Amino acid sequence: MPSKGSGYIPQTSFYDDYKYGLDDDTVDFIGHALALHKDDNYLDQPAMDFVKRVKLYAESLARFQGGSPYIYPLYGLGELPQAFARLSAVYGGTYMLSKPECKVEFDRDGKAFGVTSEGETAKCKKVVCDPSYLPNKVKKVGKVARAICIMSHPIPNTHDAHSVQVILPQKQLGRKSDMYLFCCSYSHNVAPKGKFIAFVTTEAETDNPEVELKPGIELLGPVDEILFDTYDRYEPTNQSSVDNCFVSTSYDPTTHFESTVKDVISMYNQITGKTLDLTVDLSAASAAAEE
């Protein structure tokens, strides 16, 4: 046990004389921007998940050069399915792109066995799709309001950054859900030279996205052109073990794709019956890469 001369504070003195706390703004920042919680329910839950989320943020921040815990593909997110398609082809996968009016085929037992388009049926053992392909096997769970903004400048007060994510906590907006702002630019090869594209999204609480999204849009500065959009969110209601259909959930308003990744991992577990473990010791991985 250290002596008092070395800075040791007896436990009784600690509890009697010291009190640590965080103001509401700091709590909002850590809980929503670092831990990426979408609401304040985490405040009434055990702290372990919260600590792991903040730890993941810190490790990701240290992992990538450039001062951000996030990575974004050049030429946009469309590069991700393209990379998957190329890798799938290497392992014998067949792709039929831009096929109109795809219809999932079912046998007498209600099990999916193929997908038909333009008179051709691709046979399969399992069907993996988004809610639009099987509207009778999903339920509506919400609606997303979105603004797509084209600009000729970076977002003000971001040190002229070409990629930015801003999370506006619900409490500070007087709303029930957070608002998300994401911006990328020509440096990511997603826009013409000199142009920036920003997305402002939130869970729709009214039928007026222009008014709901105003707090986020006001942070952008002058906007060349703005497009408003709303879309419904769906979740599957079917039993995949019965009909061989694996339906994803719709995209939610978040711009960091955590919920999407979790949905993909869950579907992988259901389809394969295996647990996908993506955890990694970042320190060990870095050490191995340097050898």
Residue 185 and residue 58 in one domain = no
Residue 263 and residue 138 in one domain = yes
Is 247 inside a domain boundary?
yes
Cβ-proximal residues to 95 (8 Å cutoff; 6+ apart), any chain:
85, 88, 89
Residue 169 and residue 244 in one domain = yes
Is 171 inside a domain boundary?
yes
Residue 57 and residue 194 in one domain = no
Question: For residues 57 and 61, what is the distance between their CA atoms, to the nearest angstrom?
Answer: 6
Residue 169 and residue 43 in one domain = no
Q: Which residue has the tokens 């906590």?
A: 169
Residue 46 and residue 143 in one domain = no
pTM for this entry: 0.82
Tell me how many domains the chain contains: 2
Residue 244 and residue 133 in one domain = yes
Q: From first to last of its 291 residues, what are the pLDDT tens digits of the chain?
A: 333 343 443 443 333 343 457 888 899 999 999 999 998 889 999 999 999 999 999 988 888 777 888 888 999 999 998 998 999 999 998 888 888 999 999 999 999 999 999 999 999 999 999 999 999 999 999 999 999 999 999 999 999 999 999 999 999 899 999 999 999 999 999 999 999 999 999 999 998 999 999 999 999 999 999 999 999 999 999 999 999 999 999 999 999 999 999 999 999 999 999 988 877 665 665 555 555
Quick one: 198 exposed, middle or buried, by C-beta within 10 A (0-12, 13-18, 19+)?
Answer: buried
Is 114 inside a domain boundary?
no
Is 9 inside a domain boundary?
no
Query: Could you tell me the CATH number of the domain that includes residue 39?
Result: 1.10.405.10
Three-class DSSP labels, the chain? CCCHHHCCCCHHHHHHHCCCCCCHHHHHHHHHHHCCCCCCHHHHCCCHHHHHHHHHHHHHHHHCCCCCCCCCCCCCCCHHHHHHHHHHHHCCCCCCCCCCCCEEEECCCCCEEEEEECCEEEECCCEEECHHHCHHHEEEEEEEEEEEEEECCCCCCCCCCCCEEEEECHHHHCCCCCEEEEEEEHHHCCCCCCCEEEEEEEECCCCCHHHHCHHHHCCCCCCCEEEEEEEEEEEECCCHHHHCEEECCCCCCCCCCHHHHHHHHHHHHHHHCCCCCCCCCHHHHHHHHHC
Residue 48 and residue 138 in one domain = no
Is 280 inside a domain boundary?
no
Query: Could you tell me the CATH number of the domain that includes residue 260?
Result: 3.30.519.10
Residue 136 and residue 235 in one domain = yes
Is 287 inside a domain boundary?
no
Domain that holds residue 231: 129-274
Is 44 inside a domain boundary?
yes
Residue 37 and residue 148 in one domain = no
- Number of Cβ within a 10 Å radius of residue 244: 21
Residue 56 and residue 152 in one domain = no
Task: Look at residues 15, 40, 63 and tell me which one is the last residue of a structural domain.
Answer: 63
Using left for φ > 0, alpha for ψ between -120 and 50, and beta otherwise, residue 29 falls in: alpha
